[in-house]
Amino acid sequence: QSVLTQPPSVSGAPGQRVTISCTGSTSNIGAGYDVDWYQQIPGTAPKVLIYSNSDRPSGVPDRFSGSKSGTSASLAITGLQAEDEADYYCQSYDSTLSGWVFGGGTKVTVL
């Protein structure tokens, strides 16, 4: 049972827009802690896609965007491409647990 809640899977056709939600609580996202999003291709380490809720590291396409409101955050992928098929995780900090917390992960499938 992950502290942050994500849908197990989302799918979309090439070119479409998909969103992944990440729901937390008042001790993590709702307390003002930033949310990072990771993309993970099976067999590789997680790669930062979005940090500080909505910023992109250099090299990450602007098709990826993040937002945060209240106790939730979301990742949007516009212009979905085959290469976007991967697992996506949200991550924040929790003041009660005094550590990082993750979502359970969302598998994105390009139809």
Partner 1 sequence: QVQLVQSGAEVKKPGASVKVSCKASGYTFTGYYIHWVRQAPGQGLEWMGRINPKSGGANYAQKFQGRVTMTRDTSISTAYMEVSSLRSDDTAVYYCATPTGDFPTWGQGTLVTVSS
- Print the binding letters for residues 7-46 with partner 1: x by CB under 8 A, - otherwise: -----------------------------x-x------xx
Distance CA 110, CA 86 (A): 9
CB of 46 to partner 1, least distance (A): 6
15 vs 32 by CB, closer to partner 1? 32
- Three-state SS sequence of 9-38: EEEECCCCCEEEEEECCCCCHHHCCCCEEE
Distance CA 78, CA 59 (A): 16
Interface region with partner 1, contact rule CB under 8 A, candidates 10-18, 24-32, 71-79, 94-102: 94-102
